[in-house]
Structure 1
Amino acid sequence: MDISFIHNNEKFNYMVCAVIINDNNILAMKDERSPYYYLPGGRVMMGETAEEAVIREVKEELKIKVSIDRPLWLNQSFFTEDGDHLQYHEICIYFLINIEDTILLERGNKFYLQEDVHFHQFEWLKFDSLKDLYFYPLFLKEEIYNLPEVFTLRTDME
């Protein structure tokens, strides 16, 4: 069971995201449900650690087994989602992911993978291009240039 619930017009999510970087590019994705780019990841399940969740989500979405370099941020977000228009309260832990022992870079700059019934488009985006793209989370457009060395708490009120 995902740690997520809806009450009236509000939704709570406990999420994890994978920050996957190669040569000043970040791996982002989009699918048929979202008009914007976002990071690989998803909801944490009941009884699962955040570390287990991010490794599971990357395996489900990218079909590779990765390791975690370090946690970067715990981000508390309060926003209205562009797709469903619900008011979100989201807790997301962002992890820097190590892809050294994977075939990920062999897939090219843009590739597609299927997860269940959904098709995901993955693309390596240049750090400098993020400011001009429809990309979430917004804070990453600036913070990507200076990843924290220690686990950092952030709060976003959009």
Structure 2
Amino acid sequence: MDITYYNNDKTVFNYRTCAVITDDKRMLLHKGKNDDFWTLVGGRVQMLESSEAAIKREIKEELGETVEINGLLWTLENFFKLKGNSFHELSTIYSVSLTKGSWLLNQKTSFNGLEGERLIYKWFTVNELKELNIKPSFLKERLMCLPNSPSHIIYSEY
């Protein structure tokens, strides 16, 4: 069971984990089919599951890939509105590595993962990241220079 709590007053608590996936020249992002913004690859943490296990599971489910976790980059408390709901989202954001020869590394255009057309994936160069609508928006700047040690971020788009 995903760790998501919907309250009657249109407030939502969500526990999410994400991956920064790079090939040293590009970064992999995804977006919902009907969304106008891009996000880091990831998903919800399940009850009694560590965030590290969750990001490995999410990438395996969505892309069929086994990844290695390089380290935690950020913990994030994110406050935002989406589709009429107010969210309080707690996220862990990890740097991960793909295995050598991963089919993902050969993708040159947008593509779908194993879950079909629900999510669209695409590699972007650093220069392309500057022009994208990325959520949460603070990531656009932070993805340009990844930290050497983890930090805690509290971010509100209200």
CA contact (8 A) 2:16 2:43 kept: yes
TM-score (norm 2): 0.90
Q: Percent identity?
A: 34
Provide structure 2 residue ranges, at least 5 long, that are not aligned to the other structure. none
Aligned length: 155
Provide structure 1 residue ranges, at least 5 long, that are not aligned to the other structure. none
Equivalent position of 1:128 in the other structure: 127
CA contact (8 A) 2:66 2:99 kept: no
Equivalent position of 1:142 in the other structure: 141
Equivalent position of 1:111 in the other structure: 111
Instruction: Give the distance between the partners of 2:25 and 2:117, measured in 1 at CA.
Output: 28
SS at match of 2:13: strand
CA contact (8 A) 1:114 1:120 kept: no
Equivalent position of 1:97 in the other structure: 96
Q: How does 1:3-152 map to 2 (within 5 A)?
A: 3-7=3-7, 8-81=9-82, 84-101=83-100, 102-115=102-115, 118-152=117-151
Q: What is the Cα deviation at residue 121 of structure 1?
A: 1.6
Aligned-pair RMSD on alpha carbons? 1.6
Cα deviation, 1:20-42, whole Å, max 9, x if unaligned, reads 01233210112324222111101
CA contact (8 A) 1:73 1:154 kept: yes
Q: What is the Cα deviation at residue 74 of structure 1?
A: 0.1
TM-score (norm 1): 0.90
Instruction: Give the distance between the partners of 1:56 and 1:6, measured in 2 at CA.
Output: 23
